[in-house]
Amino acid sequence: MTAFRSLFGIDRTSIKETAVLLPAPYKAFLSEINDLRANKGKLYKTMTYSDITFICTGIGPAMSGDAVLYLKDTPCKRVILFGTCGLASLNSGLRLGDIVLPLKCFELESFSRMLELRLPEAFLIPDKTITAQISADFCIHPVTVITAGSLKLESDYSDILPAGDPVVFDMEFSAVLSAAKSSCLPCAAIFVISDMIGDQPFYSDLNDTDKESMAGSFKKAAELICRMPSILT
């Protein structure tokens, strides 16, 4: 058995041209996709739907970044990260359940670096062709992402957020972008806002209205992503 098959549960030649990374299982998202064929490896669970391979990576930058590095010598032609994020720009007009499209990403995935309470001067940019095609076909709010190494420290950045588009926090995107660049794979992301920093934190309980909004967003996101192979060819 090859290392790839051991880790992913399938042969590298079985990876489809579009790979969608899922840091968490997102049952409300996956339940909207019919006829998923699942395989479980020692590190990753893969699911195949039409021309898409979904890969459950686990939360955090290392597992997602490694998954992209392993995709280098496969039929994969593009990587999409799908997950949830925390909204930092509370006066942006965005709300819980909105689907957002990152246009730039600041790397603070190191816990120690995040303790310094300052943003890096440089930022990473997702593949412009993919983001432009997604923007042209779907009405999704553009955002700036900060990939965070600490959930607790996110609120401490409220006074030094970058100017421009609304800002959200995630925990994987900068690593995925860096790994995709190393693997020569175009990469983008789509997120659903699942909490609001300082107003409705990630540990708070959702009311029935919020649960309904989130369920509707996961359904819409599933429909969007399942249409991506035809849009991005």
Which tens digit of pLDDT belongs to each residue from 152-207? 999 999 999 998 899 999 999 999 999 999 999 999 999 999 999 988 999 999 89
pTM of the model: 0.95
Could you tell me which residues come within 8 angstroms of residue 5 by beta carbon, excluding any fewer than 6 positions away? 11, 12, 41
Q: d(Cα 22, Cα 56) in Å, to the nearest integer?
A: 5
The pLDDT of 202-228, averaged and rounded, is: 90
Q: What are the chain's domains?
A: 3-232 (3.40.50.1580)
Q: Is 222 helix (H, G, I), strand (E, B) or coil?
A: helix
Q: Which of 65, 190, 64, 186 is nearest to 127 (CA)?
A: 186
Q: Side chain identity at 1, as an amino acid letter?
A: M
Q: d(Cα 30, Cα 54) in Å, to the nearest integer?
A: 9
Q: Is the pLDDT of residue 135 over 90?
A: no
Q: Which residue has the tokens 């190191």?
A: 110
Q: d(Cα 128, Cα 225) in Å, to the nearest integer?
A: 17
- The 10 Å Cβ neighbour count of residue 80 is 24
